[in-house]
Chain A
């Protein structure tokens, strides 16, 4: 019923005509039962209603399921972070509105931290915006900078919100996949997945407004190298394109790798928005605080979106975050600094996951960064015949089967692909390893039992 309604409503005069025909007077219906032709969604959200997380988190909500799906730590945030927030709740003034573009002490802390990485000083008021999570920064950046008819290059697989956000802005996503080199013999690494420079260059044209970069990458865990970033930077400069750089996992890089900020490359500061996340930095995803850093001539447009959408973020959380940052900014070289200790802790968990997945006969792609690991599960040759809905990609069916039969949940990687290319990644499943040891122990038990069952 509603599908037809939506099509009809886009044709204004026809809608008016139909409204006359179907008016309640003629049909004798009471007003409440009258089919509304006008009460429909705005076109900008057409087709954007489905969401992989809503579906899969519901599945994993069963407490008997070991949840390695959603990227949500079940470890405790650092003690001092919790303590800061607790103290702050008692301060009266912090219960009222703060500065819309970011609580003063927080933007100062962010400027201080990130100045260490950029060649220039960062103006806390003009070059930083605090948002509702990095998700909110992505939204503000896309709404503020991308116009109808623009094209935006998205690298596949991609964090799933990039595509709907680009579409909501009336722009067209242009996809380019990461492709793997052959890896005979050696362990498969996220660094084996690369962009073909010529293929990438071919995606740029006069309509290309921006490219969205995600490093470290979700779901593969790739940490882009200097050379790879230079290729992207060169193309951005040559084509006068913006770069939206999603760096939420910036601290989570493992031995032998270094996170590099594309905004620090020559010619890139003036055309890049760099996005960060408190949730991923301090393991407090529920605080929903993120930030965008960039030149004022770009940031001001994100600020305008902010002013007309949420206006301001929660005050006590911003103050607590600022104080937590000051603690760690002062000890950046100390192994106790959370920016150093968390990746160390996660590297151990990563290696454990690699080992577990290999013991099951899988070939996981060892991530250089982030807190996810993907593996090709078709090698398990699981019997998915009782999974209904044969239109779904293999990995969707596999995850549902695994959740139901093995009590282990994950996320299908084809959820991170666009419609046309789901098949390219449909054998892969993503596991999250920012989990406490007991969760990983439980996962290990399941996998051991699975192995026994196979043999």
Chain B
């Protein structure tokens, strides 16, 4: 190969991650890992570069800066997404019941599918660009629907931005508001994109961990027992704190933050003049009589909160990739600036379908016929089914109050079979999941990937399962568990 001298350097804060779809077999060989961050810059196969284009080692500079400043190194290598991908890949290679992937394996409700079909067959101009910040019927229904829920006058033009999924809303928010050196408080365990998005914006993630209060012996743990220590949380706020990311209901734990907990977060945000980025994608998925509360509805919070939602999770149509951010104009205007300089428009027809779907829900709100009522009722049964079934093999689920997920404690396995195959530094839960895929035909996601690097070793005894699955999938899960049970040593 002749020398090409092509520049390969790029911004250092990106996480070089392979894709989600489990078809690409050519993932990096873990045995060839170089230390941490330089891998973010090195191409997989060496491309000769001229001296001019030797990549400046921004990434390792960043690392050593962080090391110097805080002793807290967040490695850009081996990010959570990499691990999610690897497990999905494995799941497709073996005959497994995949309870790792966080999306439904059943269709969206009929009215939503019909709404999409209508969007495709009515006005052909829906095939063309709509308004950049949101298809008007969608921004209008979001404004009226959520205005009622938040107790807030919401202007569809100033207080609503439609995005490419809630993921896109998060990205837009970080890019709009987080600057070099800003600190962003992230509550662990966290949906794994918060950290790389903070880093990509030049920010510094500051982690605070939900801590488990001990339960009575024999009783199953509950996600509500995982709590923030108020003093510890308060200590994380500094003059550099720009934002706090809240996720309720929480992925992966399934915790639904109580009013008191939200008031604690709210008072600290106000005291320190911090923005709250509230990821509420699972807002309808709450169980056992728990209430989802939007922190933006608390006094003094609307003006400093971005409330992020997802059509994908609301209507079991993750492939539509329609999300939104709601908030005060003084924040939204900056998100609009990012939006118009990144993707500019979102696809029109998906937005039309979501608008129509919300019309349906508005008409049925609070009634038995509402999807937002029916879905959590159905999913609750799946949750309870999974909770019962997992226990039969000695997994100890932590009961979630909300979301698509639960985590199960695998401490018993850790003590009985501590030496599962894996890499030198690989956390136990990761090895366990691989073992479970290969030997028991069940796939899940190790919970440690939802933690910052330094904390992973403390949380390597949990795995995350998704229960938003069809009955047939849960039955297939039961078959695998029954076989597993027979293989357990007495």
* CB < 8 Å neighbour of A307 from B17, B47, B334: B17
A448 sits at the interface (CB 8 A): no
Contact: A161 with B341, CB < 8 Å? Answer: yes
Which stretch from A87-95, A380-388, A399-407 is at the chain B interface? A87-95
Query: In the bound complex, what is the Cα–Cα distance between A165 and B165 (angstroms)?
Result: 21
A-chain residues with CB within 8 Å of residue B343 when the two chains form the complex = 132-133, 135-136, 139, 288, 310
Least CB separation from A16: chain B residue: B239
Contact: A145 with B10, CB < 8 Å? Answer: yes
B-chain residues with CB within 8 Å of residue A54 when the two chains form the complex = 132, 340
If A286-B127, A303-B19 touch, whether A143 touches B11 (CB-CB below 8 Å) is yes
B-chain residues with CB within 8 Å of residue A132 when the two chains form the complex = 164, 343, 346-347
Contact: B130 with A286, CB < 8 Å? Answer: yes
* CB < 8 Å neighbour of B128 from A48, A98, A284, A289: A284
* CB < 8 Å neighbour of A74 from B106, B125, B300, B303: B125
Contact with B along A74-112 (1 / 0, CB 8 A): 101100001001100110101111111100100000000
Contact: A45 with B113, CB < 8 Å? Answer: no
Query: In the bound complex, what is the Cα–Cα distance between A139 and B318 (angstroms)?
Result: 23
Contact with A along B308-347 (1 / 0, CB 8 A): 0000100011111100000000110110111011111111
B-chain residues with CB within 8 Å of residue A242 when the two chains form the complex = 6-7
B94 sits at the interface (CB 8 A): no
Contact: B178 with A310, CB < 8 Å? Answer: no
A222 sits at the interface (CB 8 A): no
If A49-B333, A73-B128 touch, whether A314 touches B175 (CB-CB below 8 Å) is no
B-chain residues with CB within 8 Å of residue A36 when the two chains form the complex = 273, 304
Contact with B along A274-317 (1 / 0, CB 8 A): 00000100011111110000011110110111011111111111
B97 sits at the interface (CB 8 A): no
Contact: A169 with B11, CB < 8 Å? Answer: yes
B-chain residues with CB within 8 Å of residue A316 when the two chains form the complex = 116, 319-320
Contact with B along A26-45 (1 / 0, CB 8 A): 00000110101111011111
Query: In the bound complex, what is the Cα–Cα distance between A98 and B338 (angstroms)?
Result: 25
Tally B residues with Cβ within 8 Å of A: 96
Contact: A70 with B129, CB < 8 Å? Answer: yes
If A90-B117, A96-B318, A242-B6 touch, whether A42 touches B177 (CB-CB below 8 Å) is yes
If A89-B113, A240-B5 touch, whether A308 touches B132 (CB-CB below 8 Å) is no
Min CB–CB distance B451 → chain A (angstroms): 19
Tally A residues with Cβ within 8 Å of B: 93
Query: In the bound complex, what is the Cα–Cα distance between A38 and B338 (angstroms)?
Result: 18
Least CB separation from B333: chain A residue: A49
B215 sits at the interface (CB 8 A): no
Contact with A along B100-124 (1 / 0, CB 8 A): 0001111110000100110011001
B431 sits at the interface (CB 8 A): no
Query: In the bound complex, what is the Cα–Cα distance between A305 and B242 (angstroms)?
Result: 23
Besides A96-B317, A99-B20, A307-B17, 7 other A-B contacts (C-beta < 8 A): A36-B304, A38-B274, A86-B121, A286-B128, A287-B348, A288-B348, A310-B165
Which residue numbers of B lie inside 8 Å of A, CB to CB?
4-11, 14-17, 19-21, 23-24, 43-45, 47, 50, 52-53, 81, 103-108, 113, 116-117, 120-121, 124-130, 132, 164-165, 167-168, 171, 175-182, 193, 196-197, 200-201, 239, 242, 270, 273-275, 300, 303-304, 312, 316-321, 330-331, 333-334, 336-338, 340-350
Which 6 interchain pairs have the tightest Cβ spacing? A99-B21, A315-B319, A286-B348, A41-B334, A92-B107, A132-B343
Provide a sorted-by-A list of 18 A–B residue pairs whose CB atoms are within 8 angstroms.
A41-B176, A44-B179, A45-B334, A48-B341, A82-B127, A98-B319, A104-B23, A125-B24, A240-B50, A279-B129, A285-B127, A288-B346, A297-B6, A297-B47, A307-B17, A311-B165, A315-B321, A316-B320
Which residue numbers of A lie inside 8 Å of B, CB to CB?
12, 16, 19, 31-32, 34, 36-39, 41-45, 48-49, 51, 53-54, 70, 72-74, 76-77, 82, 85-86, 89-90, 92, 94-101, 104, 125, 132-133, 135-136, 139, 143-148, 161, 164-165, 168-169, 206, 209, 240-242, 270-271, 279, 283-289, 295-298, 300-301, 303-305, 307-317
